Amino acid sequence: MLNSLSGRFVILTAVFVMLAEILIFVPSIARYREDFLMDRLERAQIASLALLADDMIDPSVQEELLDNAGVFNVVLRRDEARQLVLSSPMPHPISETFDLRDTGALELIGDAIARLSQREPDVIRVIGQPARMGGLLIEVTLETSTLRAAMVDYGLRILVLSAVISLITAIMLNLAVRRILVKPIRRLVEHMKSYASAPEDARRVIVPSASIREVREAEDTLLSLQTQLTHALKQRERLAQLGSGVAKISHDLRNILTSAQLFTDRIEMSQDPAVMRMAPKLVNSITRAVHLCESTLAFGKAEERAPVLTSFDLQEIISDVIESEKLSVADFDLSFSVDVPDGLKIRGDSEQMYRAIQNLARNARQAIVNSGSRGEISVSASETSAEWLIYVADTGPGLPPKAQEYLFQPFQGGTTRDGTGLGLSIAMELVRGHGGELTLLQTGPQGTTFRISLPKGDAAQGK
C-alpha cells in the first residue's frame, strides 16, 4: 500500500489536509476564546442592569446573577463614573488583564495559545465595550478553568472534524487519482509488459488513447519507440535470413568459381593476343570472387573481416575497376577518366579498397544508364601529409531524396528503384575498417561526388 502511487497519495493528502486544518485551528481557537469572553461581558452587563434597576436586590440574588454570568465582579463605567456594580469573593488575586476593545489578531492568537498551555487556573480581568451603548466600559473578573475547559472541548471537536474531513477528502482524491492517473499509468505499464513479451508482433504496439496531456505524450513517445524497435527487429531478422542465404550461395558459388579457376589456368596458355590481354583480368576477377565467398563463409555474419594492410599501387586498382565497368556498358555512351598520380601507393587492404571503389563506380554507372543520357565517371586521387584522398564523381542526375535521407543504410538508401542500398553501406564499412571516412561531397542535377579519405598515421612510412 505504501509503495503504491495511490497509497502514498492518500497519506500525503491526509497530512496536507491536517496541516491546513491546524492552520485554521489556531485562529479559530483564538476567535472562540474572544467570543467566550465577550459572552461573559454581555452576561455581566445584563446582571448589572438588573441591579441598577433595583438597588435593594437581595444578596443571594446578586450571587445568583454573578454565578449565571460566570464572573466574580462587575465594574460598569457610565457618565465618567466607575462603579462596582456586583462583587463576590475571589479565590485568587488577579494575575492578568485583557482589554478586548482594541486587540490585534496576533495578540489574540498568542493569548489563546498561552491559555491552552497553562493548566493551573487563575483569575483574570477582562475589559470590554458594553453592548448597545450601555456605558463607556465594562470590566469583569473570572476564573480561567472554565475558559480553558471550553477551549479544549472546542479544540477537540475541531480536530475530530478535521480528521473526518481529511479522511473523506483522501478517499475521494484517491478514487479520483486512481481513475484519472493511476489507471492510465497501469494501462501504459501493461502495454509495455505485453510488448516486451513479443516485440516483433506489431499488434502489441500501443494505440494512444489517454485524455490527459502528460499521459498522452508518454503514450505517443512509447508508440514511437515501439514502432522503431519493431522495425529494427524485423530488419535484423531480414538481415539474419539474408546472411544465412548468402552463406549458402557463397558455398556453392565458391565451388563453381574454383572450377572456373582451373579453366583460366589453361586460357592463360593461349597465344591469341586478345586472350592474352584479357586473361589476367579474368583471373583477377575470379580470384577476388573466390576470396569474397571464402570470407563470407568464414565469418557468417554482416561484419567485414579486419583489413590486411599492405602497400599497393592505387592506379592499378582503379584501372581494374574502370575496365570492369567499361565491359558493363559497351553499347552505352559513357566515358571514363582517371586522374591518379603515377606511382601513388597507399597502405591498406587492396581487395577491400577495390570493392569500395567498385561499389561507388557501379552506383555512378547505374545512375547514368538509368537516366538515359550520356555521361562521364571520373576517379581521381591525391595525398596530403596526413591522408590519402580518392574522389569518385559522375555527371548523373544526382541522388534521390530518399537515398540522401537514408545514406549508407542498407535496404533503405538505394539510389535506383530496384536498388538495395547495400553498395554504399558496404563501401562505408570497408572504408571505416581502414580508419577512414566516406563522404558525400555534393549531389544534384550536375552530378554526384563521393570522397574516400584514408589516414596515413604511421603507415606513411610504409609507402
Q: pLDDT 10s per residue in the chain (463 long)?
A: 556 666 777 777 778 877 877 788 888 889 998 999 988 888 888 877 766 655 556 677 777 878 888 888 888 887 766 777 778 888 888 888 898 888 888 888 888 888 888 888 889 999 988 877 667 788 899 999 889 999 999 988 888 887 788 778 778 877 887 787 778 888 888 888 888 888 877 778 888 887 778 888 888 888 888 888 888 877 777 777 666 666 556 555 655 565 565 556 666 666 677 666 666 766 677 776 666 665 555 544 445 567 888 999 999 999 988 888 887 776 778 899 999 999 999 999 998 999 899 889 988 988 888 888 889 999 999 999 999 999 999 999 998 887 888 787 765 545 555 445 667 888 888 899 899 999 999 999 889 999 999 998 754 344 4
Question: How many beta carbons lie within 10 A of that of residue 146, not counting itself?
Answer: 13
350-371 and 422-433 helices cross at what angle (nearest 10)?
A: 150
Q: Is CATH 2.60.120.650 correct for 306-462?
A: no
Q: Evaluate whether 314 touches 391 at the Cβ level (below 8 Å).
A: no
Backbone phi, then psi, for 143, in 5-degree steps? Answer: -90, 145
Q: Evaluate whether 264 touches 289 at the Cβ level (below 8 Å).
A: no
In the chain, how long is the greatest CA-to-CA distance?
162
| Cα 325 to Cα 362: distance, rounded to the nearest angstrom | 7
Give the position of cell 474531513.
165
Q: Evaluate whether 126 touches 41 at the Cβ level (below 8 Å).
A: yes
213-267 and 273-299 helices cross at what angle (nearest 10)?
A: 140
7-37, pLDDT tens digit by residue?
777 777 778 877 877 788 888 889 998 999 9
| Cα 155 to Cα 48: distance, rounded to the nearest angstrom | 32
pTM of the model: 0.43
Pairing of strands 123-128, 387-394: unpaired
SS3 of the chain: the string is: CCCCHHHHHHHHHHHHHHHHHHHHHHHHHHHHHHHHHHHHHHHHHHHHHHHHHCCCCCHHHHHHHHHHHCCCEEEEEECCEEEEEECCCCCCCEEEEEECCCCCHHHHHHHHHHHHHCCCCCEEEEEECCHHHCCCEEEEEEEHHHHHHHHHHHHHHHHHHHHHHHHHHHHHHHHHHHHHHHHHHHHHHHHHHHHHHCCCCHHHCCCCCCCCHHHHHHHHHHHHHHHHHHHHHHHHHHHHHHHHHHHHHHHHHHHHHHHHHHHHHHHCCCCCHHHHHHHHHHHHHHHHHHHHHHHHHHHCCCCCCCCCCEEEEHHHHHHHHHHHHHHHCCCCCEEEEEECCCCCEEEECHHHHHHHHHHHHHHHHHHHHHHCCCEEEEEEEEECCCEEEEEEEECCCCCCHHHHHCCCCCCCCCCCCCCCCHHHHHHHHHHHHCCCEEEEEEEECCEEEEEEEEECHHHHHHC
| Cα 155 to Cα 22: distance, rounded to the nearest angstrom | 10
Domains in the chain: boundaries: 5-171, 202-237, 306-462
